[in-house]
Amino acid sequence: MAIVVVGGHTRNIGKTSVVAGLIAALPEMHWTAFKVTQFGHGMCSANGEPCDCETAEHTVAVSEERDGATGTDSARYLAAGAARSFWVRTRQGDLSEAMPRIRKELARAENAVIESNSIMRFLRPDLYLSVLDPETEDFKESAKYFLDRADAVLVAEGELGRPAWKGISLKLVEGTPVLAMRPPVYVTDEVVEFVRARLRSGVVV
C-alpha cells in the first residue's frame, strides 16, 4: 500500500483540488481518501460549528462520506473516484486521538491519500506534497514544521518568485522539485507522472 499526503501552508490554496485531481488521474490506485480538519478552541469537532462544549466525546469525530454530491471536501473525493472517503475532525492538538481509527481504515485500504500537514507527526508517507501560494502570507506552523520533508512543492505556474511569507526561508525547499499547478487544472500531467514515478517501485496496482 502507498500513502500520499497532501499538505499546504494555509486554507483555500488548492489542497483539496490536488487530492481530487490525483484521485481522478490515478483511478487504478483505488484510493481511500481522508480529509483532516483541526478546529481551534470554541469549535466543535463533531460538526465544525462554534460551540462551548469541552466534553471528551467532542474531541474527535470521524465520519465516512457516502454521497459524492453533498459539496463537502470528502464528497469531492468520492466524486473524483475514491473507493472510500473520510472526514476526520479533531480539536487542535488532539489528532493523536483519531489515529487508532485512521490506522484501522488504512489497514483496509489499497492505497491512501490524506489531506493534512499534521498527520506527518504520526505517519511516514511514501510521498508528501506541499501546496504553496506565494501571494498568501498566512503560514501554518504545521506546514512550516514539515516543509523541508516535502518530496515536491506545487505552485501556481511553477513559480515561487518572492513569497509574501514572513519568517519563512526558501532554504527549506532548496533542491525540492517545484511542480506547476495551472488552475482550474491543479494536477497536471507533470504532477501525475511525478507521483507515478515515485510510487511505481513500491506499489502493485
Tell me what the pLDDT averaged over the chain comes to.
Answer: 90
Q: Is the pLDDT of residue 108 over 90?
A: yes
Please state, in angstroms and rounded to a whole number, the distance separating the CA atoms of residues 12 and 73. Answer: 12
Report yes or no: 1 and 111 within 8 Å, Cβ to Cβ: yes
Q: Which fold has domain 3-200?
A: Rossmann fold (3.40.50)
Express each pLDDT in 119-151 by its tens digit. Answer: 999 999 999 999 999 999 999 999 999 999 999
Express each pLDDT in 56-68 by its tens digit. Answer: 555 799 999 999 9
204: confidence class by pLDDT, cuts 50, 70, 90: very low
Query: Looking up cell 489497514, which residue turns up?
Result: 107
pTM for the full model?
0.89
Please state, in angstroms and rounded to a whole number, the distance separating the CA atoms of residues 87 and 61. Answer: 8
Please state, in angstroms and rounded to a whole number, the distance separating the CA atoms of residues 73 and 37. Answer: 11
Please state, in angstroms and rounded to a whole number, the distance separating the CA atoms of residues 185 and 30. Answer: 21
Report the percentage of the chain scoring pLDDT > 90. Answer: 84
Report yes or no: 80 and 187 within 8 Å, Cβ to Cβ: no
- The tally of CA atoms less than 13 A away on the side-chain side of residue 84 is 14
Beta bridge partners of 154: 131, 179
Please state, in angstroms and rounded to a whole number, the distance separating the CA atoms of residues 35 and 195. Answer: 19
